[in-house]
Structure 1
Amino acid sequence: MESVKSFKLRTHCHIVQIETDTGIIGIGESGFWGFPEGTEGILKRLTKYLLDKDPLRIDHHWQYIYRNNHHRGGALHGALSAIDIALWDIKGKYFDAPVWQLLGGKCREKVRVYMHIRGDSNEELVRDAEEKVREGFTAVRFSPFVPASQKLTYSARLKTTVNRVKAVRDAVGDEVDVLIDVHNRLTPDEAIVLGRELVKYRLLFIEDPTTQDTVEAMAYVAANCLVPVATGERLHTIFEFNSFLHKRACAYIRPDICLAGGITQTKKIVALAEAYQVLAVPHNPLSPISTAACVQIDACAPNCLIQEYTGDGSLPGQEWKREVVKAPLKLEKGYLIVPDTPGIGITLNERGVENNMKEFMERPLKTPLHEDGSVADN
């Protein structure tokens, strides 16, 4: 490895680029989004180790960095994940093969995705859902809470949440899967009540119904709420995932490839889940680099069910996604086509990256409050 560079892009994304002495360039991304300064500082330290090392010894470098540190957490694992993805990109290009080929070959030709939908009112949410279905998506995901739901009474919040899910299900029918993301906002018992209220709407899953900080709490919800639970986007290690799997705390695991250790560890995590007959739905709210890395895992892991997808830059405010890569992955009728391109399948557009570095926006610290002024979950 000859150089390691990092770029802070708008909307809080953090990209890493590693170049070898043969001219091969690999790209990766950190999932510690919103606070790239933390990952950036760690990358500067890790660069001293990486320079002049063989980029093909990926697992060795992963273990060397991970086991050197007494601490774990988002900034470190974001940096480690970004490096790992970039090294796999280099390895694929070195052997003139897509990463999925190096990981055992394709299980599928295309990857089904679910698309985010948004809307403050039920009418706006339904319109967005119907638009996504017209575009060919067969699964949609949304927050079930109305704006400022933290200030509502318990009964009012439960009622508006159920009505919101009902509105989307009625609009899209049974040919489309519906997923909701609670973002850890409920207590375990609140999550169980909500899940039982929503059973009749046939959700594919309820994501993060309660905090991921306690395995036992999530396992309690998973055993009692009657809707399949998905979780894992905030977990960092295979050991944490093993705890959730062992406790049957979820029906679907959601590793973030840019936070859980990159391609090296995500492949292991997904394989571990297979032993528990648990399906994987990789977390992916970031840039096209994260999407491309996820698809490499989706392509070669038999228990990957569906992939989170937030668009390729065609939506208002997302133009930067098209600008930072030379060509996004191909989307056809709600599926991403698995690329045959060497590496992770995409290439940075240097001019687009440079332009969007100028647009970097710090993530504001805006935590919602309850009506009485106490802090609510964001």
Structure 2
Amino acid sequence: MEIVEVESAVRGDAHFVQVHTSDGRTGVGQSACWGYPDAVHAVVQTFRPYLLGADPDRIEHHWHHLYRMGPFRGSVLTAAVSAIDLALWDLLGKRLGVPVWQLLGGRVRDRIRLHLLLPGTGAQALAEQAAAAVADGFTAVKFDPLPAAYGDLSQARLVAETEATTAAVRDTVGPDVDLLIELHRKLTPLQAQAVVPALARHLPLLVEDPVQIDSVSSQAEVGRRAPGVPMANGERLHTIWEFKELLAQAGAQYVRPDVGLAGGLSHARKIAALAEAHHAAVVTHNCLGPLLTMASVQLDTVIPNFVTQEYSPLDDQLADGPARACVRREGGFLPVPQEPGLGVTLDLTDTRPLDLTGRPLTRIPLRADGSVAYAV
């Protein structure tokens, strides 16, 4: 058996791959570098001559070959490796007739807890969306409480409005629902020193990515300066080496690998093990539709330090889209999939462009003086 074709396709801000083998099977994958899908597509095309004729079962070998083909690194490369890696795991599961989680060591749980991404802004909208999520069965919600003009407010106003929005959600859902607070890398380290401690009295499960990802050390330092507030980092990190540095500097209690960016299941499994060795938990990042959700669930099912899986309203909206999952949400949980492979089908004959993020790259936050604010 060998790989006979590698398909790569861009659909709007989504990038998918299909790997076909000589026994008639197809494995599917997706990358998560949503800002530059055409660049990821180009890298996969560069991989194609190496993959054609190769044994699809040599997943770890192919990972290292593709990652080390050239002396260049970054999110575009690891996203392309991730998409291929997911497709190869999907193929192996299909060939053996088992879900991928069974190949990764077997399940340690019977269902996957979800936290719902709330798209609203402002205290009233977020409180209403949180109440609706709880009524629908979710036990955790995630939201961004920063005010719209965060780049231009005084420090005191920034802290007060962020804390008031968080309070509104906490007061609405009560103490039995976990709050995951997403700050979208919008703050400077000095702003984060004031904002993050102000959220502590609302007992969030975690506060995620207060500052930009340019420096692992800076991210870790923010965590060390906010005792009593669990920090989460990593949705934009790419490799076990970056996560190792973050964890070694005590910068995160929760790590957030994305299987479509951080090297697929092969690499994300290692990141989870690194976190476990540091007594850190895993909250997998995921916001790009059903295929990456199902891939993430394979990891969530087998690791002991998993806490909750990110779930986007897009997963419900795209249930009948080009990528279709074999399981559907049951309240605030997903059942562990039993279908062979990743448990998802992909129809690349559907050429409609997807809009998974709703954010053109040219639309970035600007301050009132015209300068570029810290962007998501």
TM-score (norm 2): 0.94
Contact kept in structure 1, 2:212 and 2:374, CA below 8 Å: no
- Between the aligned partners of 1:73 and 1:137, the Cα distance in structure 2 is 35
Amino acid at match of 1:174: P
Amino acid at match of 2:230: P
1:230 equivalent in structure 2? 232
- Between the aligned partners of 2:141 and 2:77, the Cα distance in structure 1 is 32
Match of 2:334 among 333, 336, 345: 336
1:354 equivalent in structure 2? 351
Please give the secondary structure, in 2, of the residue aligned with 1:15. strand
1:201-212 correspondence runs (5 A) = 201-212=202-213
Change in 2 beyond 3 A, CA 1:4/1:363: farther
Change in 2 beyond 3 A, CA 1:359/1:68: closer
TM-score (norm 1): 0.94
Shift of 1:358: 11
Amino acid at match of 2:335: I
Please give the secondary structure, in 2, of the residue aligned with 1:37. helix
Change in 2 beyond 3 A, CA 1:71/1:358: closer
- Between the aligned partners of 2:168 and 2:209, the Cα distance in structure 1 is 21
2:164 equivalent in structure 1? 163
- Between the aligned partners of 1:359 and 1:336, the Cα distance in structure 2 is 21
1:209-220 correspondence runs (5 A) = 209-220=210-221
> Which stretches in structure 1 are left out of the alignment for 5+ residues?
none
Tell me the C-alpha RMSD between the 2 structures.
1.9
1:117 equivalent in structure 2? 118
- Between the aligned partners of 1:270 and 1:359, the Cα distance in structure 2 is 26
Shift of 1:374: 1.5
2:289 equivalent in structure 1? 287
Shift of 1:85: 0.3
- Between the aligned partners of 2:42 and 2:224, the Cα distance in structure 1 is 41
- Between the aligned partners of 2:42 and 2:362, the Cα distance in structure 1 is 21
Change in 2 beyond 3 A, CA 1:361/1:125: closer
Please give the secondary structure, in 2, of the residue aligned with 1:331. coil
* More moved, 191-200 vs 285-294: 191-200
Amino acid at match of 1:371: A
Match of 2:362 among 353, 362, 365: 365
Query: Is 1:323 the equivalent of 2:310?
Result: no
> Which stretches in structure 2 are left out of the alignment for 5+ residues?
none
Please give the secondary structure, in 2, of the residue aligned with 1:180. strand
Contact kept in structure 1, 2:126 and 2:169, CA below 8 Å: yes
Contact kept in structure 2, 1:215 and 1:243, CA below 8 Å: yes
1:269-284 correspondence runs (5 A) = 269-284=271-286
Shift of 1:19: 0.8
Contact kept in structure 1, 2:288 and 2:314, CA below 8 Å: no
Change in 2 beyond 3 A, CA 1:101/1:42: same
Amino acid at match of 1:297: L
Please give the secondary structure, in 1, of the residue aligned with 2:199. helix
Please give the secondary structure, in 2, of the residue aligned with 1:222. helix
1:190 equivalent in structure 2? 191
- Between the aligned partners of 1:147 and 1:77, the Cα distance in structure 2 is 32
* More moved, 328-337 vs 56-65: 328-337
2:5 equivalent in structure 1? 3
1:60 equivalent in structure 2? 61
Amino acid at match of 2:29: G
1:16-165 correspondence runs (5 A) = 16-165=17-166
Please give the secondary structure, in 2, of the residue aligned with 1:190. helix
- Between the aligned partners of 2:116 and 2:356, the Cα distance in structure 1 is 25
Shift of 1:181: 0.9
* More moved, 36-45 vs 83-92: 36-45
Please give the secondary structure, in 1, of the residue aligned with 2:346. coil
Q: Which has the higher helix share?
A: 1
Shift of 1:159: 1.2
Shift of 1:300: 0.4
Change in 2 beyond 3 A, CA 1:98/1:199: same
Shift of 1:220: 2.0
- Between the aligned partners of 2:263 and 2:169, the Cα distance in structure 1 is 35
Shift of 1:298: 0.3
